[in-house]
Structures are given as C-alpha cells and as structure tokens.
A and B are shown apart, each in its own frame.
Chain A
Amino acid sequence: MDNNSTPVRHIEDSKLKYTLREMSRNKGAYVMLAPFFILFAFMTALPVLMSLPLGFTNFNMVSFPQFIGFNNFYTMFMEDEVFLISIQNTLVFAIITGPVSYVLAFMLAWFIHQLPGHALKTIFTFIFYAPTLAGNVYATWQLIFSGDAHGLANAYLVDMGIITRSREWLTDGNLIMGVVIVVQLWISLGAGFLAIRAGFQGIDGARYEAGAIEGIKNRAQELLYITIPAMGPQLLFAAVMQIVASFAAGDVSRLLTSFPTTDYRAHSVMNHAFDYGSLRFEMGYAAGICFILFLSMLLANWGIKKILGKYLDE
C-alpha cells in the first residue's frame, strides 16, 4: 500500500461516509427488511429483553420486581436440589434425543431421497412428518402406556410373554424417562427433517452426474463428497432445531405423565421453569432458570457450528 501516510481520522471519516453511501444506495433493501424487523422487535425482541433482567429480581407478578442480585442463581445451584436433578435429567435427555433425532432426521431424509418415484417419496416424507402435523396426540400415547391391563403396551407385552405383569409406565420412576424419550423421538422429526428433505430436493442432478464421471462408486461416497457438502445450511438449521427441541423439552413429560413426574425422574429444566413460572408465580426465579438454559443452548450451538464449520461459508 502506498497510502500509508493517510491520517487515521481521514479513514474513519471515509468509512462513515462509505457506510452512509452504501445505506442510501440500498434503500430498497431496508424497506424490505422493515416490516419483518419492526414486528420482530415488538413481538419477540422486546419481550425477550424485558425478561432477561427479571432473573436478577424477585417478581411475583403482583408487586414491582425487586432487585436481588445473584440470589436466584445462588439458590438454584446451592439450595434447590430439584433444579440440580432437572439439569441432570435434561443433560441425559439431550445427549440421547439430540444426536439420535439429528442422525435419524438426516438418514431418513436421505433414504427417502433414494426412493424411486415422486409418490413414494411424498408418502414416506408424510409418514415421518405426520407426528408433527398431528399435534396433540398425547391422549393416544396415554392409551398406549396406560398403567392398567387395558393399556395397549401392557396387554400386548403380557400376551407375548415379554413382561409378566402390568407395568405403571407413566408413574413408575424407573420407566418414565424411557417412555418420555420414546415419545420425544417420535415427534422429533420436525422442522429439521423437512428442511433436510427440501435441501435434497434443491440439489442439482448435474452434480451427481458429474460425480459419477469423476469416479463416485457407491452411495456412501456420493453422500460424503457430493450431498453433505451441498447441504451445510440445512444441516445447521436442523442442528439448531434439534438443540432447542432437546434442551427445552418439557411438554412431552408434562402432558403425557402426571406433573411433576414421580420423584422428579423426568423433570426437565423447562419443567422446573414451568413449575415456578406458571404454577407458583415466582417469575424472577423462573426467568433465572430460563437464562441458564439459554446460556447452555448458546454453548451447544457454538459447538455445533465448530463441527459443521467447514460446510458453512459465513
């Protein structure tokens, strides 16, 4: 560079000018951003920003929040045994359901992509996404895992001689976690799965033909060298979805079993926040719990981005 002598001041000035010039050149772009981000600011960002400081207060929804520093967090980690149980449960739960559902979403989408014919692809995509479309079918799961002999799991497992007497699937502390994990995996093929399917649909067939010419011999190579590198954005999207689904899980155990679960055996962090926020109206404490959850999800997201890094161009 031969402009080394240019004063710093001048560079800053031109940078600001450059920014303003770029902004006015792209006026149209800001007009396109505006409707979304105005709604986003009021309906999503503002409530989130308002709830962040609540973690440092004592707030019962009647009187004004009272600042108490780190007290909530001290109580959580030093005195609240149930919170520590819920962290343990959430970790076990996330470590099992997160990776399993992520790999399942990818593998199934890939398998479906290999099927011949549009109709067959549509049918199988439908089947695996159906639980998300169906929404609230917990009543049916309760019928399956009902604790008496009329429960389907009990009736058929006893009949086949796998178990000798009826099990209390939804109230036996040793069984709850397993049942909740099964149901969670059942509904876990949601947005991430469909995003990966759509990603496959968007990959140009010419890439595969080129790959075949370059010596791709089998499905595994094709997957590794052509498909996955072309799917970075979808893989990241699916990963984020599965992180949120497994860390913030709680609906399944709350709606399927009694609340709270026996001995807190399937009590997740989100369940704990529900307990304090929606039942006891200790909003400050609930906000603190959610804040800890948020931090751990940021950490997991950072880890995923490191792993997927080479497929992403940002």
Chain B
Amino acid sequence: MKLVIKKRKKYSGSLGGDIAIFIMLFLLGAFMLFPIYLSIIQSIKPPEEFFLFPPRLYVISPTSQNFVGLLEATSSMWIPFTRYLFNSILVTVAVTGFQIILASMAAYVLAKVKTPGVKFFNKTIEIALLFTSNVTHIMLYMVMAYLGMIDTYFAIILPFVATPLSIFFMRQFMGQLPDSIIEAAQMDGAGHFRTCWQVVMPNVKPAWITLIIFAFTAAWQINGWSFIFNEALKPLPTVLLQLQGSGIQRAGVGAAATVFLMSPPMILFVFCQGNVLETMAHSGLKE
C-alpha cells in the first residue's frame, strides 16, 4: 500500500486558490463596471465624438460642458435646481433615518422578545415581502388622499419608511445573537428599549450600516410622480430622468444626469463599507 502523506495546509487556503479567486473576481468585476464606466465616459464626451465611427471606449478631449449643460437646462426652469436638490436631500435623510430607527426597534421585538403577537407580525412581514403588484399603487393613492397627504412631503416619505425588507433584514441578523447577552442585560435591569439600543444594536453594526445603504439608495431614487403635483416639492430624479429621455441631441446631458444621480449613493457606500470592516475586526463581543 502506498503511503499517503497529507500536505498540511493552513485553513485559510492555498496560494493557487487565491490567484484563481482573484482572476475570477477581476473578470466578473470588469463586466460589472463596464456600463458604469461607459456612462461616465459619455458624460465627459463632447458632442462631436458621439458620432465617430467606430464608437470609442475612451474620450479624446474630455469636457465638462455636459455638466454645465445640465445645470443650464435645469436652472432655466421654473423651479431652481437647488430646490429639487433640497427636496431630494430632505426626503432621503428622512426616509433613511426613520427607517433605521423604526425597523431596528420593531425587529428587536420580533427577533428577541417572546410575547403574544410576535408570531403573527413575523408571518405578516414575510408574506408582505413577497407581494408585488402594480395595483397597490392606486390603492396607496386612495389611502393617502383620504389622509390628506397628496402633494405634501409625507406622500414621498411615509410609504417608504416601514418597508417589509428593512424589518425582515434586521430581524434575520438580530436573531443570530445569543439570547444570553439579552438575558444578561435584563438581569442588570435594562428594559427592552435600552437592551435594543445599547446591547443589540452595537452587536449588529454590519446589519444596520448595510440597511443605511439600502435605504439611502432606494430613497435617493424616489421620484414621486404620482403623489406630488406641486413642482416645488418634487425630488431631483423626476427632473433629471426627463433629461435622460430626450434623445441623441442631449445624450451627453442625459449621461451627465445619470452620473450626477449615481454619485451620492456610491460615495455613501464606500464610506459605510470601510466602516463596517473596521469595526467588526476589532469587536470581540459576539459569541
């Protein structure tokens, strides 16, 4: 019988595996980034380069005139550009802030408090997650009209706060925490409210930072076309998306609008992700 000598490997894997993983990530990553790279290229292309043949994947003489054109196109409008920007920031901050606070508190109860009704709420959330319909929109309009919220900021804030996704997401993460740390907190006299904010939340930091990214990205894209008719209350995407759809004459300006809209979520993402990795590497609290 042949003697098999097992090579001792470190548990973190081999060098060959590392290289294979890196190559695969690199190739797929190039595919993911390509359209975004192209959008950025389009936004700094001068008009004459749009018609070059064959089409180029780079810019010969980059220009900022598309962004200038974007500002001109929007500032000549009835409502100043800054007003749309203000609306968008207000809505995004409000939706993100309320969503994190309300969903975290409720998710804590659903995940960690055994009290009558919790099962029912859990089931409701799961079913709501799967419900997709383009008819609920009309019904939501009726509800909001009844509450007198049409044409107010509430109409583009409140429907996006209590989303099933946010609470389901937080619940999944909080459920993983050992019951012992909650029992310990309650032994020390902390009520549910303090347990949630001072014990549970610091331990699920990757979760709520990720939820900030979800909430911000979704809220930044709210356009409120059917709930807001007052031009002064409309958020930025409503206007910028109109510019995108106005054909080849404005292809550059449209691309500039796309790039302008995608920047804030991307900046926030990089900031948040860096933060998550830092904190989890140093916390020894998890069981």
Contact = CB atoms under 8 A, between A and B. Distances in A.
Interface of A: 19, 22-23, 25-26, 28-33, 35-37, 39-40, 42-48, 50-51, 54, 61, 108, 111-112, 114-115, 118, 121-122, 124-137, 139-141, 143-144, 149-152, 155-156, 159, 186, 189, 191, 194-195, 197-199, 201-202, 204, 208, 211-212, 216-219, 222, 230, 233-234, 236-237, 240-241, 243-244, 247-248, 270, 273-274, 277-278, 283, 286-287, 290-291, 293-294, 297-298, 301, 313
B244 A44 contact: no
A124 B29 contact: yes
Interface of B: 6, 9-14, 17-18, 21-22, 24-25, 28-29, 31-33, 35-36, 38-39, 42, 51, 53-55, 57, 102-103, 105-106, 108-110, 113, 115-117, 121, 124, 126-140, 142-143, 147, 158-159, 161-165, 167-169, 172-173, 175-176, 191-193, 196, 204, 206-207, 209-210, 213-214, 217, 220-221, 237, 241, 244, 251, 254-255, 258, 261-262, 265-266, 269-270, 273-274, 276-278, 280-281, 286-287
B167 A36 contact: yes
A200 B41 CA distance: 34
A145 to B, nearest CB: 11
Contact of B39 (A54, A137, A217, A219): A137
Q: A240, A244, A301 — which one has the most chain B CB atoms within 10 A of its CB? A: A240
A222 B12 CA distance: 9
A36 B103 CA distance: 6
B259 to A, nearest CB: 9
A234 B172 contact: yes
Given A44-B128, A48-B133, A155-B55, A140 B116 contact: no
A43 B217 contact: no
Contact of B106 (A33, A115, A194): A33
Contacts, number: 306
Contact of A135 (B132, B133, B251, B262): B262
Contact of B25 (A30, A111, A118, A152): A111
Contacts of A208: 11-12
Given A28-B193, A186-B31, A137 B36 contact: yes
Contacts of A234: 172-173
A114 B13 contact: yes
A140 B132 contact: no
A23 B114 CA distance: 10
Contact of A297 (B12, B42, B132): B132
A298 B35 contact: no
Given A133-B265, A134-B36, A219-B17, 17 more contacts: A26-B115, A28-B191, A28-B192, A28-B193, A122-B270, A122-B274, A124-B29, A128-B32, A135-B262, A139-B244, A140-B255, A152-B57, A191-B214, A202-B204, A219-B13, A247-B132, A290-B135
When A and B form their complex, which 6 residue pairs have the shortest distance between CB atoms, in order from nearest? A233-B172, A290-B133, A47-B139, A36-B106, A39-B162, A212-B11
B24 A111 contact: yes
Contact of A46 (B138, B139, B255): B139
Contacts of B103: 36
A36 B102 CA distance: 5
Contacts of B116: 19, 22-23
B21 A114 contact: yes
A36 B169 CA distance: 14
Nearest to A134: B262
A240 B129 contact: yes
A135 B276 contact: no
B178 to A, nearest CB: 11
A141 B35 contact: yes
B214 A194 contact: yes
A270 B18 CA distance: 41
A202 to B, nearest CB: 5
Given A39-B102, A124-B29, A202-B207, A143 B42 contact: yes
Contact of B278 (A118, A125, A199): A118
B143 A126 contact: no
A298 B172 contact: no
Contact of A43 (B32, B53, B140): B140
Contacts of B22: 115
B109 A33 contact: yes
B94 to A, nearest CB: 13
Given A45-B128, A191-B165, A277-B135, A134 B17 contact: no
A112 B28 CA distance: 12
Contacts of B142: 47, 50
A32 B128 contact: no
Contacts of B35: 131, 134, 137, 140-141, 144, 186
Contacts of B117: 23, 30, 33
Contacts of A126: 266, 269-270, 273
B129 A39 contact: no
Contacts of B161: 39, 43
Nearest to B159: A43
Q: B25, B206, B261 — which one has the most chain A CB atoms within 10 A of its CB? A: B25
A243 B54 CA distance: 40
A40 B38 contact: no
Contact of B130 (A134, A189, A297): A297
Contacts of B220: 135
